[in-house]
DNA sequence: CACAATATACTGCAATATGCAGTATATTGT
DNA sequence: ACAATATACTGCATATTGCAGTATATTGTG
């Protein structure tokens, strides 16, 4: 049982889902905490069935069938064990920052473009989650009694996205002052901010 | 060529490294932008050699040998292509937030513990990067002429870590007000913050 | 100075996860 | 009527992880 297995099990604990519905739900909300491929979301429930944590049956809509998955009592027990287990450390992959680290191999233009692309991605996520929250505040949550969880979760995402957007602005101003990507050693703006951030931590 | 391959190639562009050194460097600084396993860091340079982007030779220290990798001209060209290519979207995996989303299956105590563990992990990273930056500000960067890049990169990490630490404080207060993890619908504190964050975006 | 602990320096392998192509039916829009 | 899009998956090659295993070098401690 991987974390992804538990994620699917936790969804099945709410109601029965078809494979396709699981992929859609993963895309709509899970992805902000646990981004996984569509492919995996089709595989996981099958594994749960093998382990006895879910049952499956085919449902027909016309000439086409789909697999419906339901949690079992053992599945609910397994979920309880997960809740009590140790958590995993967070993992943050930002390719654009990798490019920044090695930006002296390219031009300032390349670096600016990379930042613009990061900004577009973050903005997209930010907009999507703001919209989702707006619908939740209007009472549109699919499980109204669970709204408090989704909303607390969303405040995390929104605060992080805002921070990233602010940093991109800062970084853009900084880079605009660079004549080239190379040989600058340290610059006044980054030195000032770094000292501020460090003092803030160990005054 | 994967992004991880380019990450190693970018390191080789600075100087020759042994396999072991690459794993250490990945652990020290790359991990904040591109966290990859030690195992992969041993495999990637071999792939680069196969592709002609690096050369390798064995060096002996006593009775033990180690593999030293060096970039080739073709490798430097490949690196240039990467710089000009499209970036990848960021990917943020936080298992504790997945637990939050499904926290109604467990107790408030489980949820609090999960937040404590997240806080410990973030604090550890935060401390590590503050310390690294302090040494850089003192002129201790391994490639002094590249300090501006590391420092700008670090400001990102530190701002994000600070935001997460603040959110954990907020979430702790919120959860302390919950009599249970279930059936709360929306709460005043989260509703207020969500409206604030949404207005902040679309005033 | 002996010896334990830790650091250096990897490799093999099973399990996990991704991305893409392929297949087919149902619904919606023009 | 027909094209585009949504629904509903599966197979396969490749990427990545985690863990166990192997071996030598260095450092710290009693």
**Nearest C-alpha neighbor of B130 from the set B159, B149, B156, B158:** B158
Exposure of A81 by Cβ count < 10 A (0-12 exposed, 13-18 middle, 19+ buried)? exposed
What CATH number has the domain spanning A3-84?
Answer: 1.10.10.10
**Nearest C-alpha neighbor of A122 from the set B68, B87, B34:** B87
Question: Which phi-psi region, left, alpha or beta, contains residue A183 (left: φ > 0; alpha: ψ -120 to 50)?
Answer: left
Residue in the structure block whose two tokens are 């937030």: B97
- The nearest alpha carbon in chain A to B120 belongs to A89
Residue in the structure block whose two tokens are 């930056």: B133
Q: Gap from A47 CA to D17 C1', in Å?
A: 19
What would the pLDDT profile of A74-127 be if each residue is shown by its tens digit? 999 999 999 999 999 999 999 999 999 999 999 999 999 999 999 999 999 999
User: Per-residue confidence at B13, pLDDT binned at 50, 70, 90?
Assistant: very high
DSSP H helical ranges for A29-146: 38-50, 73-84, 95-101, 108-137
ipTM, two decimals, is 0.93
Low-confidence ranges of chain A (pLDDT < 70): 183-184, 186, 202-203
| Chain C bases near protein CB atoms (7 A cut-off) | 8-13, 16-21, 24-27
What would the pLDDT profile of B50-69 be if each residue is shown by its tens digit? 999 999 999 987 888 999 99
Q: Where along chain B do its domains lie?
A: 3-84, 95-201
- Cβ distance B184 to A148 less than 8 Å, yes or no, reads yes
Exposure of A32 by Cβ count < 10 A (0-12 exposed, 13-18 middle, 19+ buried)? buried
Out of B91, B152, B200, name the one closest to residue A100 (CB).
B152
Classify each residue of A102-130 as buried b or exposed e, where b means 16 or more C-beta atoms within 10 Å of its C-beta.
bbbbbebebbebbbebbbebbeebbeebb
């Amino acid at each position: 049982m991987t974390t992804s297995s538990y994620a699917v099990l936790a969804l099945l604990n709410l109601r029965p889902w078809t494979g396709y519905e699981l992929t859609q739900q993963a895309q709509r909300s899970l992805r902000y905490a646990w981004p996984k491929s569509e492919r995996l979301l089709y595989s996981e429930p099958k594994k749960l069935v093998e382990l006895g944590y879910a049952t499956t049956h085919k449902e027909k809509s016309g000439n086409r069938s789909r697999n419906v998955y339901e949690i079992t009592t053992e599945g609910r027990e397994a979920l309880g064990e997960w809740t009590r287990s140790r958590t995993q450390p967070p993992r943050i992959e930002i390719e654009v920052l990798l490019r920044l680290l090695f930006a002296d191999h390219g031009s300032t233009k390349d670096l600016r473009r990379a930042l613009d692309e990061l900004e577009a991605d973050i903005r997209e996520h930010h907009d999507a989650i703001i919209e989702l929250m707006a619908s939740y505040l209007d009472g549109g949550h699919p499980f109204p009694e669970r709204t408090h969880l989704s909303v607390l979760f969303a405040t995390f995402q929104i605060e992080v996205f805002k921070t990233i957007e602010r940093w991109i602005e800062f970084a853009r101003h900084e880079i605009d002052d660079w004549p080239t990507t190379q040989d600058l050693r340290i610059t006044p703006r980054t030195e000032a901010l770094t000292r501020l951030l460090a003092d803030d931590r160990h005054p």
